[in-house]
Amino acid sequence: MTGTTFHATRAADEDLPEGATLYEASGGDWDEIAREVVGEERIVVNMGPQHPSTHGVLRLMLEIDGETVTEARAGVGYLHTGIEKNMEFRTWTQGTTFCTRMDYLAPLFQEAAFCLGVERLLGVTDDVPERASVIRVLMMELNRVGSHLVCLGTAGNEMGATTVMTIAFTAREEILRVFEAVTGLRMNHAYIRPGGVAQDVPADIGDLVRKALPEVRKYLGQLGDLMLANPIFKARLVGTGSLDLAGCMALGITGPVLRSAGLPYDVRKAFPYSGYETYDFDVPVSDNADCYDRVVLRLEECYQSLAIVEQALARLEATVGAPTMVADKKIAWPAQLAVGGDGQGNSLEHIRKIMGTSMEALIHHFKLVTEGFRVPVGQAWATVEHPRGELGVHVVSDGGTRPYRAHFRDPSFNNLQAVSVMCEGGQVADVVVSVASLDPVLGGVDR
């Protein structure tokens, strides 16, 4: 074997069973070593990282025997963007523009988790205005529905059900229109800021959302009709990708995958944030722990999220005109945004004030935007219930205007550990279904 070296050593009794041999190889092709040393034919297939059925640039290394998967491993890192490291070179407020781009299907959750951590370091958690928290809840729950719709739509498309994808993406479009009206962007919003939100919601937010909700519900009903009783769909999903509660606990799996195994763990209930303890909603669970149950749970979670949205809308209408940012001007983002003829930017009234009547306001605005506010020395941990599971943020401050460290516990990264357990022993076609049921987003995995 040219370019390949290997040697066999007798393993110690405590490492391997009696008579077992340990092979160490460097260079060359492992397939060649296996054939020559072990004397068996192994077919190793790379599914990805460009494969359309891997939800992004995920590499799956599959060892197959006929159509049966005998070994499966996930390879990540192909979408590494250095977001966490970049955040160490930006102000605390600028950090939201980076972390929002990690899991690009659920950007508002990264923003919220990061800001909750920063607010904990600043000691202003209880000072965040109620209206700002309500807006955060409204936006996150709409984002949860949009994320689940992409999960269901892409999973259907990967199994050949193109109509499932078109319906799901049409429904998501209704939600993205609301996001665009509120933040100016369809994704990567940087809307949730330390201390509150960038600006208040439009005056007609109630009409916008109430117009979208019946449409989203209609499409969710169509998805349920197309999928849940479909014999082909059930044949592909029922009993596929099983991962019981013990497996989920051992691997640190959270979100719909954990709840499909029977444990009703939801951060919104276990460790409430942003006032979630005051909202009325249920945590759907099941106990079959297969791909089919995860579809059912995600659909039900969409309905629960829409119920939370309606409650948030009622609270918004009761707090019109209330502040959406902490009162402390040493922290509060100074911009007063408005939509003008050239797009969104500082309102003309705000510019007239800081440029024409208050030199101190202009200096303060300049310092806060260019240098940022200082955060006391310390570290904080904050978690939110992300569409894919528990999203945790560990922020560390050395007393400066930039994070010393910002580390994210992304649920997709942890959940991908289940690939081998869910896929080995199944068919190659089941790998696509199992990975789709995990719903990984590689932007969050690689960061």
Q: Which domain holds residue 121?
A: 93-331+373-403
Q: What value does the mean pLDDT take over residues 91-114? A: 90
**Any domain includes 354:** no
What would the DSSP string read from start to end of 252-311?
T--THHHHTTT----HHHHS--TTGGGS-------SS-SHHHHHHHHHHHHHHHHHHHHH
Q: For residues 100 and 193, what is the distance between their CA atoms, to the nearest angstrom?
A: 11
The pLDDT confidence band at residue 242, using thresholds 50, 70 and 90, is: confident
| pLDDT 10s digits, 113-128 | 999 999 999 888 888 8
**Between these two residues, 4 and 134, which has the higher pLDDT value?**
134
Buried b (16+ CB within 10 A) or exposed e, 245-267: eebbeebbbbbbbbbbbebebbb
pLDDT at position 397 is 92
Which pLDDT score is estimated for 2?
47
What pLDDT, on the 0 to 100 scale, is given for residue 10? 45
| Cβ neighbours, 10 Å, residue 95 | 30
Is residue 241 pLDDT above 70, yes or no?
yes
3-state secondary structure of 421: helix
Per DSSP, the chain holds a count of helices (H) and strands (E) of: 18, 12
Range scoring the smallest mean pLDDT among 90-99, 297-306, 366-375, 380-389: 366-375
- pLDDT at residue 336, rounded to an integer: 67
The per-residue DSSP string of 27-45 comes to SS-HHHHIIIII----EEE
What is the tens place of the pLDDT at every residue in 300-342?
Answer: 999 999 999 999 999 988 888 888 888 877 777 766 666 666 6
- In angstroms, the CA 64 to CA 273 distance is 45
Residue 278's pLDDT is what? 92
Direct distance between the N- and C-terminal alpha carbons of the chain, in angstroms, rounded to an integer: 38
8 Å CB contact between 418 and 302: no
Q: Is residue 153 part of a domain?
A: yes
Residue 320 placed within a domain = yes
> What does the pLDDT read at residue 14?
57
Percent of the chain topping pLDDT 70: 86
Residue type, 354: I
Q: Is residue 142 part of a domain?
A: yes
Model pLDDT, residue 144: 94
Domains contained in the chain, number: 1
Where residue 139 falls among pLDDT bands split at 50, 70, 90? very high
Residue 25 — pLDDT band, cuts 50, 70, 90? low
Residue at 211 is within a domain: yes
pLDDT at 52 (0 to 100):
66
The dihedrals phi and psi of 146, each to the nearest 5 degrees, come to -60, -40
pLDDT in tens, 184-231: 888 898 889 988 888 888 888 888 999 999 999 999 999 999 888 888
From the CB of residue 4, how many other CB atoms can be counted at a distance below 10 Å? 14
Answer whether 109's CB lies under 8 Å from 148's CB.
no
250-293 residue pLDDT tens: 998 998 999 999 899 999 999 999 889 999 989 999 988 888 99
98 assigned to some structural domain? yes
Using 50, 70 and 90 to split pLDDT, how confident is the model at 11?
Answer: very low
Q: In 3D, which of 300, 298, 291 has the Cα closest to residue 429?
A: 291
Q: How far is it, in rounded angstroms, from Cα 252 to Cα 122?
A: 30
Distance of CA 51 to the CA centre of its chain: 21
% of the chain residues with pLDDT over 90? 34
Residues contacting 115, CB < 8 A, separation 6+:
96, 192, 193, 194, 195
Q: Give the pLDDT confidence score for residue 362 in this predicted structure.
A: 75
Task: Please work out, in degrees rounded to the nearest 5, the angle formed at the alpha carbon of residue 269 by the alpha carbons of 191 and 149.
Answer: 55
Is the pLDDT assigned to residue 27 strictly greater than 90? no
* Helical spans, DSSP H, in 54-204: 83-87, 95-99, 107-122, 130-158, 162-183
Q: What tokens were used for 403?
A: 């994070």
Q: Is 75 inside any structural domain? A: no
Q: Which two tokens stand for residue 371?
A: 């240098």
**Exposed / middle / buried, residue 275 (Cβ in 10 Å: 0-12, 13-18, 19+):** middle
Which CATH number characterizes residue 111's domain?
1.10.645.10
Neighbouring-strand partners of residue 343: 340
In a domain, residue 377? The reply is yes
Query: Looking at residue 49, what is its pLDDT?
Result: 82
More confident residue, 367 or 255: 255
Is the pLDDT assigned to residue 29 strictly greater than 70?
no
What is the average pLDDT score of the chain?
84
